[in-house]
């Protein structure tokens, strides 16, 4: 077994596969003044100059200096844009520029280890420009590179566990050698540390303690079950395997359950990319089921990962029939959730099912092994579920100037389960706001505790609830719960509550009724909807039925409110006028100030003016 120690000379050819060679990148935005045909050569020369600069000026080993220069293309391009270009003398010009403009070494370093160029400023420390200002970070990076970590992936460690780069290199060496002592290969140990960075930051020198369970399970998965067959010598693949393992652990799947699944079939980790796995996890998590169950489903039935979701269209009635619902069941669903039926994208299926409270039924059937029905579903005919009105309206929308804006709104409605039919197109006219605004308002109502299917039903009844700003919705819900004392079930029967003005209608009317009740005048109970929804004239008639003087008292209260608001407005206007007059006076004083100075200053005469003689310095 080979042990690694800090600052061993870098000679592992494995790294060459991970270096990002940017010399072929000719589309950098800051290199506009360099002709396209000269850019590859200019970048190559600039990289060589920066390499020599870091090697000689900063006394950095040549291999590390080269890593930094070749993996920091955006920082390099920004620097190159400040140098006069010449096809013959560019190298000399660049060298001369660096003599008088020292390199911000940490900016180049952070980009080279894989931190996105746009995020580098978040990590730069004030007054720390050179490696000599803070050598700890560079020493740790060189140590990890010596262990076998790809240089351009060290940024993942830095972003997730920055404390690693504050450790003593000998401490990190003991942690890494501990992994090797457990039987992991160098590539496996590197992949484990990249996938689970917290393993490198523990305070104890050994690998005992709180991480034992994870390490034992990783040993069982990667070594005992021989998951690494075909992955020998490939750090990238081991890192991807560890990211997949962590994905399941983060879902809450017991570590032993993951290991047992791998012992039966390892195709989830060897045959499918992390992107495919993440997409399927996201798809099934949208069903609002237990996340650990989603992980177990994919581990138990890896064939699901082969099912195409993104590029398929579903007819809701056809899919439910294909999945086992009878015609009578479909008829009842269509009567209750007519706005859901029609065509939609397969990727929206989780929310389609949640809009009808069928998500748990669907997921249960998937766990029972009915996933082939999900995989082999297809439209029975090209026009199945197609709505002619929707198609015609879409053609009309495409001709509008704000087509993209409407398309985003339409995408939102389809995304929450509304089908491709005329009713959904009508919502575009009734509901105002961008697609992102509608998402934000919908999510707020959902997070407040309204069930998904009931919220969709509320929108179908009263679409204008999505026209309200999020802070307005929040205040109305808080008032309903805290002062009125009603639950959110009230909104299911009266969603229009959310569209009335809280300060000018809901609060005054409700509080006046409460006051009347305290006076003992209210003989029967009035519902909140009956108090709010009624017109102004109807409200006065309602009050007259409670007590003959109630309407007059209400009108007097309204008049007092208007007078108070009017006085506040008058005060505000008068304050604005005074402030404006003061600003004008100050401005006029400033305008006169130079002339006042000039008038009070003595005009120099030719007697006291110094005359400069020719030839005098």
Residue length of the chain: 617
pLDDT at 203 over 80: no
Residue range 519-551, pLDDT digits in tens: 999 888 899 999 999 999 999 999 999 999 999
Report helix, strand or coil for 345: strand
Chain centroid offset of residue 192 CA: 26
Average predicted confidence (pLDDT) for the chain: 84
> Domain residues for 519?
503-574
In a shared domain, residues 487 and 521: no
Residue range 126-149, pLDDT digits in tens: 888 888 888 899 999 999 999 999
In a shared domain, residues 412 and 539: no
pLDDT at 22 over 60: no
What total of structural domains would you count in the chain? 3
Q: Which of 166, 189, 217 is the last residue of a domain?
A: 166
Angle at 71 between CA 67 and CA 76, to 5 degrees: 115
Which H/E stretch holds residue 344? strand 343-345
Is 601 within a domain?
Answer: no
In a shared domain, residues 495 and 534: no
Residue range 356-405, pLDDT digits in tens: 999 999 999 999 999 999 999 999 898 898 999 999 999 998 888 888 99
Please list, in sequence order, all residues whose beta carbon lies within 8 angstroms of the beta carbon of residue 165, skipping any fewer than 6 positions away.
Answer: 136, 137, 140, 141, 157, 158
Task: Output the pLDDT for position 85.
Answer: 87
Predicted model pTM: 0.80
In a shared domain, residues 440 and 548: no
Q: Which two tokens stand for residue 263?
A: 């012992």
The arithmetic mean of pLDDT across residues 5-10, rounded, is: 37
Task: Output the pLDDT for position 605.
Answer: 41
In a shared domain, residues 162 and 30: yes
**Between 163 and 262, whose confidence is greater?**
163
pLDDT band (50, 70, 90) for residue 604: very low
DSSP secondary structure letters along 549-563: THHHHHHHHHHHHHH
In a shared domain, residues 24 and 162: yes
Residue range 406-416, pLDDT digits in tens: 999 999 999 99
* Residue position matching structure tokens 């072929």: 24
Please list, in sequence order, all residues whose beta carbon lies within 8 angstroms of the beta carbon of residue 84, skipping any fewer than 6 positions away.
Answer: 93
pLDDT band (50, 70, 90) for residue 599: very low
Q: Which of 140, 166, 192 is the last residue of a domain?
A: 166
In a shared domain, residues 405 and 477: yes
Task: Output the pLDDT for position 21.
Answer: 39
pLDDT band (50, 70, 90) for residue 444: very high
Lowest pLDDT segment from 150-164, 180-194, 467-481, 573-587: 573-587
Task: Output the pLDDT for position 13.
Answer: 35
In a shared domain, residues 546 and 422: no
Residue range 549-563, pLDDT digits in tens: 999 999 888 877 766
Contact 446, 412 (CB under 8 A): no
pLDDT band (50, 70, 90) for residue 330: very high
* Residue position matching structure tokens 């409110």: 561
Task: Output the pLDDT for position 571.
Answer: 54
The 8-class DSSP code of residue 343 comes to E
In a shared domain, residues 149 and 30: yes
In a shared domain, residues 26 and 118: yes
Share of the chain above pLDDT 70, in %: 83
User: What is the distance between the alpha carbons of residues 69 and 64, in angstroms, rounded to a whole number?
Assistant: 9
In a shared domain, residues 35 and 94: yes
Residue range 97-127, pLDDT digits in tens: 998 888 889 999 999 999 998 898 888 888 8
Task: Output the pLDDT for position 135.
Answer: 87
CATH of the domain at 403: 1.25.70.10
In a shared domain, residues 27 and 92: yes
The arithmetic mean of pLDDT across residues 478-506, rounded, is: 95
């Amino acid at each position: 077994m080979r042990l690694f120690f800090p600052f061993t000379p870098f000679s592992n050819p494995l790294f060459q596969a991970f270096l990002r060679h940017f010399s072929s990148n000719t589309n950098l935005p800051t290199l506009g003044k360099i002709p396209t045909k000269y850019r590859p050569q200019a970048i190559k020369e600039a990289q060589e100059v920066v390499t020599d600069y870091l090697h000689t000026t900063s006394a950095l080993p040549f291999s590390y200096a080269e890593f930094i220069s070749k993996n920091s293309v955006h920082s390099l391009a920004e620097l190159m844009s400040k140098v006069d270009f010449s096809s013959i003398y560019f190298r000399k010009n660049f060298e001369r520029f660096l003599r008088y403009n020292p390199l911000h070494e940490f900016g180049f370093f952070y980009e080279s280890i894989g931190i996105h160029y746009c995020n580098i400023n978040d990590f730069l420390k004030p007054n720390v420009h050179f490696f000599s200002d803070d050598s700890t970070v560079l020493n740790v990076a060189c140590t990890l590179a010596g262990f076998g970590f790809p240089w351009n992936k060290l940024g993942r460690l830095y972003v997730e566990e920055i404390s690693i780069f504050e450790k003593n290199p000998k401490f990190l060496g003991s942690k890494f050698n501990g992994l090797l002592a457990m039987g992991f290969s160098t590539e496996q140990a590197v992949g484990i540390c990249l996938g689970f960075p917290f393993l490198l930051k523990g305070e104890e020198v050994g690998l005992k303690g709180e991480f034992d369970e994870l390490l034992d399970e990783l040993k069982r998965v990667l070594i005992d079950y021989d998951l690494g067959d075909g992955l020998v010598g490939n750090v990238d693949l081991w890192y991807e395997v560890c990211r997949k393992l962590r994905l399941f652990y983060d879902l809450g799947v017991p570590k032993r359950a993951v290991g047992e699944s791998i012992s039966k079939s390892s195709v989830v980790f060897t045959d499918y990319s992390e992107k495919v796995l993440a997409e399927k996890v996201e798809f099934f998590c949208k069903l609002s089921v237990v996340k650990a169950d989603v992980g177990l489903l994919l581990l138990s039935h890896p064939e699901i990962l082969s099912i195409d979701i993104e590029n398929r269209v579903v007819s809701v009635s056809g899919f439910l029939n294909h999945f086992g619902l009878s015609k009578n069941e479909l008829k009842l669903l269509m009567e209750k959730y007519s706005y859901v039926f029609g065509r939609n994208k397969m990727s929206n299926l989780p929310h389609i099912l949640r809009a009808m409270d069928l998500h748990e039924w669907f997921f249960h059937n998937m766990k029972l092994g009915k996933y082939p029905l999900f995989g082999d579903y297809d439209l029975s005919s090209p026009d199945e579920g197609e709505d002619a009105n929707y198609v015609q309206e879409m053609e009309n929308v495409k001709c509008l100037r704000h087509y993209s804006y409407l398309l985003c709104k339409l995408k939102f409605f389809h995304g929450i389960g509304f089908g491709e039919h005329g009713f959904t197109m009508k919502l575009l006219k009734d509901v105002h706001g961008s697609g992102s605004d509608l998402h934000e308002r919908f999510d707020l109502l959902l997070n407040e505790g309204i069930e998904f299917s009931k919220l969709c039903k509320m929108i179908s009844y009263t679409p204008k609830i999505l026209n309200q700003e999020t802070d307005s919705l929040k205040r109305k819900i808080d008032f309903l719960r805290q002062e009125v004392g009603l639950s959110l079930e009230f909104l299911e029967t009266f969603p229009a509550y959310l569209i009335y003005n809280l300060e000018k209608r809901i609060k005054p009317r409700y509080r006046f009724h409460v006051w009347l009740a305290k006076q003992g005048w209210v003989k029967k109970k009035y519902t909140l909807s009956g108090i709010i929804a009624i017109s102004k004239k109807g409200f006065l008639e309602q009050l007259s039925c409670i007590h003959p003087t109630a309407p007059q008292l209400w009108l007097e209260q309204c008049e007092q409110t208007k007078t108070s608001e009017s006085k506040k407005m008058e005060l505000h206007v008068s304050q604005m006028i005074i402030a404006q007059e003061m600003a004008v006076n100050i401005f006029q004083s400033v305008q006169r100030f130079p002339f006042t100075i000039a008038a009070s200053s003595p005009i120099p005469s030719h007697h006291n003016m110094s005359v400069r003689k020719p030839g005098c310095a």
